[in-house]
Amino acid sequence: MSAADPTSGWETAVDRVAPCPLSRPRPAALLWWVRPAALVLALGGVAGTLWEGIDNRGAALAFGMLVGVGEWARWTGADVREAAPLGAAGGLAYALLGADDGIAARDGAFQVVAVVSAAALLGNVPHIARGRRTLDHLARRVLTVGFAAVCFQPLCARGALERWGGPAYALLLVALLVLTALCDAVLAAAQAHSRTRWPFGPLLRDELRGLLGIGSAVCATGAVIALAVAAVGLWALPVFCLPLLLTQLSLRRYAAVRATYRQTIASLARATEIAGYTPAGHAHRVATLSQAVGRDLGLSQAELTVLEYAALMHDIGQLSLVDPVPAGATAGLPAAEQRRIALLGGAVVRQTGVAAAVAVVVERQADPCREQPLAARIVRAVNAYDEKSRDSGPGGQLTALEELRLAAAGDYAPEVVESLARVLSGDCLTLRAAG
């Protein structure tokens, strides 16, 4: 599962939260290190290629075109693990190319890095022209392909792999690709951590889980392409790239379906606002802060998605009330009334066809704290915080947090309240008025 989809008309959690103008932005130290490292590697590859000359020009041109087309066709409408699987597989296959139609290929690590860097840059020109952020993507592509090339090409150039044949050679390629994929996952998680300051562990866990899907397809295709070109030549490229191209097209369709699904949930979330049961923007504010708290507490991406949907729909049970709650503030109602509204909301969610896990969170948001799942604890605390801070006037955030801390035992989970305080004070976050 991925994070919020820009094509759905929603902002991501980071975009919906504006940093306090008085706070200093945290330096993304790793991003400043990764980008220059990728630039130095790319320039080194170009310089080494110019110095040594270009070998096997046909393979360089073919793989360069493959990487360029893959990057040009990459999907930018959703936050996915690998937006350009065709370009990734082509780059990795070129890095592990040991022969071309039975003739030993001596492309070398310098040439591989230079060709992939140039092709990836050219393929991303349309995306750069449209103002899309591509620097991190390009840096990862150059570094991961460079890593694979540096591991494989020197061994190939020295003839150390001549005795390797059949299954042993194929297993070597697969092992190198798996190692490269693991390095890429660590790099992607580290980039996300440096950019967002979310916990590194859950980010790495999500990236490693992503390797079981599109990551495994990219690695397998890269290995197959390298082996096929070694056996039958460059004609293998279009044949073995077709399945991955179809996968990339399927990824677009999946993103479109996911966007429609999110738009449906967004519309349901706005129903209480349109009907006058809750203030404008309340559901989106609760969803935004809930996701931030969930990140701080180490929830996985799949758990964050369930949390986001439940937070958006947490007040939908109020549509069943004859008399609306003043300002939609359910946190001050008696426990029995809160539980009744929560159960009504869960019943509505189940009727909409949304995942059952979302309905469970909505139903249990009013249960005693110790009996709630973590997602329900988060929604309960964040909802109460938004209601209390909205009515507290100047200094409402501090007043609301203090009320949550001093609430009766069992009302709000202490670890969730402290996480909410960290999210608000550590990053000095303020929510934009939504509506």
pLDDT at position 145 is: 93
Question: Residue 73 is inside which H or E element, if any?
Answer: none
pLDDT at position 103 is: 76
pLDDT at position 77 is: 56
Q: Phi first, then psi: what are they for 131, rounded to 5°?
A: 80, 15
Residues of the chain with pLDDT under 70: 1-31, 76-82, 101-102, 162, 165, 322-323, 327-329, 391-396, 408-410, 426-435
Longest dimension (CA), the chain: 81
Radius of gyration for the alpha carbons in the chain, expressed in angstroms and rounded = 26
Residue with tokens 């592990």: 96
Over residues 170-225, the pLDDT tens digits come to 888 888 988 998 998 888 888 888 877 778 888 888 888 878 777 888 888 888 88
- pTM for the model stands at 0.72
The DSSP string of 287-316 is: HHHHHHHHHHTT--HHHHHHHHHHHHTTTG
Which stretches within 134-199 are classed as H helix? Answer: 135-157, 167-196
